[in-house]
Amino acid sequence: MKRNKNGFIEIEIEEKIQWDEPNGEGCIVSDRITKEGWKVGYMVRDIPRENVPDSGWMFLKGDEDKKYMSDVSHHHIFSLNTVCNYDPDIIDYLHMPVGSALIRTEDGTFVMDDGKMPIYMEKQKRK
């Protein structure tokens, strides 16, 4: 995989979504997705912050612990459309309400996280 000067996997960005919610399409994404090449395994939507372009979404591989996430160098703010280019499987779930927490299942779909099922972790298919 080719990487840019900041270590992010280089991908071609296409318009995959048009985000029409008022707060904007900013989101937090783990480097495990954008630098290590994993698909989204866990996605959670919090209340969007006001006065910044925030959708409220956070996208993780699913095994990031508090120590990993407390280091701000391990996650970044991207547009939702960019994250959809890293992993288009998330698109159908983006309009879930605030408070939604979803995990990837083995068939590539997402279900609400009830804490009982394991998160299926899978690498992105890139050259």
107 located within any domain: yes
Region of 12 on the Ramachandran plot (φ > 0 left; ψ -120 to 50 alpha; else beta): beta
| CA separation for the pair 123, 127 (Å, rounded) | 12
Q: For 24-31, what is the mean pLDDT?
A: 96
Question: Does 92 reside within a domain?
Answer: yes
Structure confidence by residue, pLDDT tens digits, 34-93: 999 999 999 999 999 988 899 999 999 999 999 999 999 999 999 999 999 999 999 999
- What's the domain count of the chain? 1
Instruction: Decide if 8 is inside a domain.
Output: no
Give dist(CA 82, CA 33) in Å, integer. 11
Looking at the DSSP assignment, which residues form a beta bridge with residue 44?
Answer: 58, 101
Domain that holds residue 47: 26-112
pLDDT at 23: 85
Inform me whether the pLDDT recorded for 127 exceeds 80: no
Pairing outcome for strands 75-79 and 101-104: unpaired
2 lies in some domain = no
Alpha-carbon torsion (32, 41, 39, 88), positive or negative: negative
